[in-house]
Amino acid sequence: MKLNTTKGLTFVEILVATAIIALVAEMLLTVFGFSFKHNREAEATLEATFIAQRKMEMLQGMDALSAYNEGRKGIRQKFMEKYVEVTCRPYLPDDCHVFDVVVKNEEGRDGILYAAPPDNADVFLIEGWTDDIFLEISIFGNRYEIISPDSPDKKAVTGWLPGDTEKVVVMINGVEYSLDKGILIDISSAGRDVEARVYDTNNNSSLINVEGTGVIVKRYTNYSYRDYSTVRAQVKVFDTQDDARPKAVFESILQLKN
């Protein structure tokens, strides 16, 4: 009778089998590592997007002045364990660069005048006045200056416009101004196409005076419903204070109460 025998693996076969197992294990580890890294990146992006949306929701609950102050150019702040950079700029659907000038007062309160330039490098602000006030906006080529002798610190806001040929629009909103003190706004331009649009009511047209040199001035009276500013808001979320590339970017056009 012939006995069944089982032949063992040769040394060479063992080496080949071991190599195959090692290759398969390496592939599995690579796939697992890639999947883990991909999942971590996706999770981080999702978290950053949530933070950006949360910040945008907060901007939607602000008035225009607060949003402009929050979104001044180049300011990065810590928010929800990340670093958030908010930019809020005046916006019109036209192809133009916008200055947003608002004159207002709430019932029983002092007057407020603020001007946000197109790049929102800073917000020019005057609060409370007992006499007529004067505001000057100068636009020379790609440079602008906003200044007033009635500003408490007499400090000007200056900055730069993009080096293009797009029109500059100065929006002046006075529909919420009811004090008996006059406002004179002088706008001068050289080397730039500039248009001023003034919104007022029947009751305060004589109090809000706008003059222009090299500027087209258009007046829209009895626009009392236009008590808001249109703002282009952008939120960028970074992992660290010094990161150059954001984890998430969220943009929206907001209509905010003046």
Structure tokens, 166 = 């797009």
- Which amino acid is present at 6? T
Q: Which residues contact 28 (CB under 8 A, 6 or more apart)?
A: none
**HEC secondary structure over 126-144:** EECCCCCEEEEEEEECCEE
d(CA 258, CA 247): 32
pTM: 0.82
One digit per residue, pLDDT tens: the chain, 258 residues? 454 544 555 655 555 556 566 566 566 556 555 555 556 777 888 899 999 999 999 999 999 999 999 999 778 999 998 999 999 999 999 899 999 999 999 776 789 999 999 999 999 999 988 899 999 999 999 999 999 999 888 899 999 999 999 999 999 999 999 999 999 999 999 999 999 999 999 889 999 999 999 999 999 998 888 899 999 999 999 999 999 999 999 999 999 999
List of E strands, the chain: 76-79, 82-90, 96-105, 111-116, 124-127, 133-140, 143-147, 157-160, 167-176, 183-190, 194-200, 208-213, 215-221, 228-238, 248-257
d(CA 198, CA 202): 13
pLDDT tens track for 20-50: 665 665 665 565 555 555 567 778 888 999 9
